[in-house]
A and B are shown apart, each in its own frame.
Chain A
């Protein structure tokens, strides 16, 4: 009952302020559009908006990002289905059956299924998040000290590195580069300048906003420039033809199964929503009586993947809000929003800023529900907007990024750093490295070093102290097992063929 009252209070706060409503609607439409437009993603939008959240309250900033997260994950399904270009990694399995459906003239039905299942997965996940996050945060206050947080950071990085890049080694190199970037500036214990190369600019460290803008928004434009040389994109024709109620009811088991899978994968730090979508899809194939039909345009493939990835969005907020640890690139940017308002996400947020938490929860609930409404009413409009030529979109995005990077501190050197990060990101991406891994490394590197130092001081520099703390020990063991499994896989397992990947 208390949860429901808090939710009502959050809803009232959200809708009683016209500015909040405007930000909410902007986030819903912006997330959906940027998720859907080929060549950009919700991460591009989030990176561009990040510096401007300084002009908003912390409540509005976090709410905006959470709404973009929910609708952006759905928006990415549109490009996966229509162009075979997943808007984000978590939409990749949607393309396995969504794109063949487009080729079979069933694009409308595939988009319709994505709309309905994204909304269902997201709403259910948000409800569970509302019920579960506060008790987890309460427990975390007493159970999570610096050793546990350091162990969780290690586990999160081990998971992220294992799945984020072309090879396990490139995944780790991406994370380590991010950790190294986080080292630049003053060390967290003694305040000694590290890797400043006697440049005053570097004393304060490399600012995360130009870094994030460069790695996500700018490098994406560069990658598109290279693709443009090959003239890849052609907008397909689309008729909107939603699946019938009978078809949806026939897939109810797939929906429920994907919600459960999505939610539990979403809680994992790392890249939970991606794992969720793949596991949702894989389980659908495994449970099917006709697995050979997957990969050829089967509706259940789209339903399983889209339900699972949206179910992971609510779950991904749990480690962020209950423990203060981001699980993916977008939640890492949310940490940036908190920091810009001199706040730290974590269990104490429930005590100090309960209003913020419940407005965010309410906004996520309504954002997921609005996917259904906007999906039904505006799908055709959105698809027409997808036809904006990229040569007109690119200068707009680059200039928005320029203004964003400059506005943080009023330094043109930040703009140079951003475009340099874009160039570095471009070269790393085309070599199979993961820019999301780098950004997670940057964000978690600072938290990791600080909590490691605190943990070692707390344990009187005795490594065996970790053995006495069950949660920390468990997380460290889980991290090492993930690491060991990945090393074993990297050397001894053969990569499955393309056919295996899509059907097994």
Chain B
């Protein structure tokens, strides 16, 4: 086994699996182009082949050298401490990754599940909106519960969840809660500081982008959030 660890084999399996998937999918667009004999598939397939070779080379490197960096000195320059931080924080191992991906699924649950429930219940537009609000509330409760125990994992998931909520709740309603959430995840615990910094950041962003640059931000598509967003825009512009 040389210096191979199970993690190395998982990494190699991931890359080779990705190559296999991309190669199989390339048959979906395998068509001739009259003026170009290589067609639309040659370029991506060469990339896939090189990717597979690099993944095998990487596996062989792990077999011979384990986690040792390559001999080029410049490698040290791009070491931003991300790997070391992960190691020091014990954020490694199958269990950590599984729980992280479980938390990361929350935004996608919000994107899909309310539509399924509403479809299953045969709900109309208002029913769908209510379902979305209820599902969002349940997911927010789960996030609040998790934040004390899994700070880094919540830090990864929170922006994605915010992005998923933007379409329905709008930037103007969701942003203040997002600012407070990020501050909390990064260790701020003083309510007065959180409130004042939130007001400052929110105020600066609205002034800069809404009042000065007239950037259109999502106002949401559910009442009353849409009304609140529209009111903010009307007041500031």
Contacts and interface: CB of A to CB of B under 8 A. Distances in A.
A384 interface: no
Interface in A406-433: 406-407, 410, 412, 415-416, 418-420, 422-423, 426, 429-432
A173 interface: yes
B119 interface: no
Interface in A279-295: 282
Given A390-B186, A394-B186, A489-B72, A176 B51 contact: yes
Interface in A221-270: 221-223, 225-230, 232
B39 to A, nearest CB: 8
Interface string A209-231: 00000000010011101111110
B40 A412 contact: no
A402 interface: yes
B11 A168 contact: no
Contacts of A275: 74
A487 B57 CA distance: 9
Interface in B41-69: 43-44, 47-48, 50-51, 54-55, 57-58, 60-61, 64, 68-69
Contact of A166 (B60, B79, B91, B186): B79
Interface residues of A, number: 94
A86 interface: yes
Nearest to A456: B38
A353 interface: no
Contacts of A470: none
Contacts of A55: 213
A193 interface: yes
Interface of A: 52, 55, 85-86, 89-90, 92-93, 162-170, 172-173, 176-177, 179-180, 183, 187, 189-190, 192-195, 218, 221-223, 225-230, 232, 271, 274-275, 277-278, 282, 389-392, 394-396, 398-400, 402-403, 406-407, 410, 412, 415-416, 418-420, 422-423, 426, 429-432, 434, 436, 449, 452-453, 456-457, 461, 486-487, 489-491, 493-496, 501
Interface of B: 11, 15, 22, 25-26, 29, 31, 33, 35-40, 43-44, 47-48, 50-51, 54-55, 57-58, 60-61, 64, 68-83, 85-86, 88-89, 91, 104, 107, 151-152, 155-156, 159-160, 162-164, 166-167, 171, 175, 178-179, 182-183, 185-188, 197-198, 201, 204-205, 209, 213, 215-218
13 contacts: A164-B74, A164-B78, A173-B54, A278-B74, A392-B183, A394-B182, A394-B186, A396-B204, A398-B159, A406-B166, A415-B163, A423-B104, A457-B36
